């Protein structure tokens, strides 16, 4: 079957390999594009007990060996992984029936492979910038950070179009890399609401009892335990929240701050109130999001905030930092509560506001659910992405490059 468009996407993570938000983004975007008639090939890293090649809902997924070569550090590992990825992807391009129209990179980790393939096959390269090093680190302080920043700059320079997931991110990327306006496009992230359908809070009593007493409210944090996600702000807000509400704090995710956060909880004698659950599987996460009396996204830097969207899809009221992409997703007092970033008092105020007023909590979560259904549907996002592909191919066909 001949397809109107054929796209090869590159991502260092793809389910079941999940490190951050890129994995679900590429998973749902590629499947929605395939549903809309695009032939999609995803080239990603290998993962234990997963096949090197499989077809998922029409998407051809190729997993490349990323650990064959020993690497002394992360930067070297990324470089070697890109060499493998480029070599194997080139073989796939030559082998597949549909000629590849567009290469689509997701973040700096696949930059070298994609830029090489762009020049070998002389096809346009697009990139989605999910985040930036200068934003994550609040500046550039080490050689590794500067190397990542320069790689990002090179990738955005080589890309025909740079897609960002929020208006905030468009202006941030434009500033960080000095890009012209017409090179940037905004396509929001999406959320799959169907995973939350048919799961009712009332039926989760037994599940909920594993984590909290019936009289305890559940405050849920989902994300990496790293500085820019603001998890320390939530931990420091816990005593102020407990003054007003009996609550249990469930922390889902891992990261380099875990031991430090455990020590803070111990020093406040609140280990019995703060549960560090580590990484949980999707079925558990979905149930936790349905059980949560409030979901908290206290980020200091947030290009988009996919976990806020997921909570909204689960009809869990959200309290978010008024920053980055979160500011665009949540409308204060309508679809959630916005608080001052890096401010435990403000965060505690927002969380208690939701927990102490059931009518308010129901009102914002119902509004949020409607907004998610209308604005952040993956089919709609696939259509916007296809429009960008078509526009780029139109420009490419008139250029000397074609």
Do 264 and 235 meet the contact criterion of CB atoms below 8 Å apart?
yes
The domains of the chain are located at: 5-190+377-397, 193-375
pLDDT digits (tens, 9 = 90+) for 169-228: 999 999 999 999 999 999 998 888 888 988 877 789 999 999 999 999 999 999 999 998
Rounded-to-integer distance, Cα 274 and Cα 253, Å: 13
Q: Mark 155-164 as b/e (b = at least 16 C-beta within 10 Å).
A: bbebbbbbbb
CA distance 276 to 266: 12
Q: What is the pLDDT, as a whole number, of residue 1? A: 53
Strands 161-164 and 247-252: unpaired
The count of other CB atoms within 10 Å of the CB of residue 5 is: 18
Q: What Rg do the C-alpha atoms of the chain give, in angstroms?
A: 22
Q: Tell me if domain 5-190+377-397 and domain 193-375 are identical in fold.
A: yes
Angstrom distance (rounded) from CA 379 to CA 36: 8
DSSP β-bridge partners for residue 319 = 296, 337
Q: Is-contact 184 168, C-beta < 8 A? A: no
pLDDT at 202: 72
- Alpha-helical (H) ranges within 96-138 are 111-121, 133-136
pLDDT of residue 253: 92
Sheet holding 5-10, edge to edge: 53-56, 59-64, 38-45, 5-10, 102-106, 125-128, 161-164, 184-186
Collapse the DSSP code of 127 into the 3-class scheme (helix H, G, I; strand E, B; otherwise coil) and give the result. Answer: strand
Q: What is the CATH number of domain 193-375?
A: 3.40.50.2000
DSSP state letter for 304: S
What is the full DSSP assignment across 242-294? HTT--EEEEEE---TTHHHHHHHHHHTT-TTTEEEEES--HHHHHHHHHH-SE
Distances (CA, A) of 396 to 94, 122, 125, 296: 21, 10, 10, 44
Q: What is the homologous superfamily of the domain 5-190+377-397 according to CATH?
A: Glycogen Phosphorylase B; (3.40.50.2000)
Mean pLDDT split into 10-residue runs, the chain, 402 residues:
84 90 92 95 95 96 86 91 95 88 96 97 96 89 94 97 93 95 93 84 88 96 92 96 97 94 94 93 92 95 86 96 90 96 97 96 95 89 96 93 78
């Amino acid at each position: 079957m001949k397809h109107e468009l054929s796209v090869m996407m590159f991502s260092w993570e793809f389910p079941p390999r999940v490190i951050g938000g890129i994995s679900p983004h590429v998973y749902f975007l590629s499947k929605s594009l395939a549903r809309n008639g695009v032939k999609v090939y995803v080239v990603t890293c290998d993962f234990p007990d997963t096949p090197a090649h499989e077809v998922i809902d029409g998407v051809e997924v190729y997993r490349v060996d990323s650990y064959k070569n020993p690497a002394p550090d992360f930067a070297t590992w990324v470089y070697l992984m890109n060499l493998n990825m480029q070599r194997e992807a080139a073989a796939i391009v030559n082998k597949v029936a549909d000629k590849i129209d567009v290469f689509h990179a997701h973040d700096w980790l696949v930059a070298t492979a994609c830029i090489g393939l762009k020049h070998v096959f002389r096809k346009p390269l697009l990139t989605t910038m999910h985040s930036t090093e200068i934003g994550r680190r609040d500046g550039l302080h080490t050689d590794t950070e500067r190397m990542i920043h320069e790689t990002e700059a090179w990738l955005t320079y080589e890309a025909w179009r740079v897609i960002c997931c929020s208006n905030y991110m468009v202006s941030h990327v434009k500033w960080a890399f000095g890009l012209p306006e017409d090179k940037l496009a905004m396509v929001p992230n999406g959320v799959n609401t169907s995973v939350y359908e048919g799961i009712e809070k009332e039926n989760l009593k037994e599940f909920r009892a594993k984590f909290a007493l019936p009289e305890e409210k559940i405050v849920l944090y989902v994300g990496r335990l790293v500085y820019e996600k603001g998890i320390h702000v939530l931990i420091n807000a816990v005593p102020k929240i407990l003054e007003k509400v009996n609550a249990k704090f469930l922390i889902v995710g891992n990261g380099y701050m875990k031991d430090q956060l455990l020590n803070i909880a111990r020093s406040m004698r609140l280990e019995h109130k703060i549960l560090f659950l580590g990484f949980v599987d999707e079925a558990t996460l979905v149930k936790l999001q349905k059980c949560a009396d409030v979901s908290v996204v206290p980020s200091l830097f947030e290009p988009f905030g996919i976990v806020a969207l997921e909570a909204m899809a689960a009809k869990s009221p959200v309290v978010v930092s008024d920053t980055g992409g979160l500011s665009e997703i949540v409308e204060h007092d309508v679809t959630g509560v916005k608080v001052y970033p890096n401010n435990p008092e403000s965060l505690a105020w927002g969380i208690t506001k939701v927990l102490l007023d059931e009518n308010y909590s129901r009102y914002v979560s119902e509004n949020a659910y409607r907004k998610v259904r209308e604005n952040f549907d993956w089919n709609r996002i696939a259509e916007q992405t296809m429009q960008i592909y078509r526009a780029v191919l139109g420009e490419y066909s008139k250029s000397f490059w074609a």
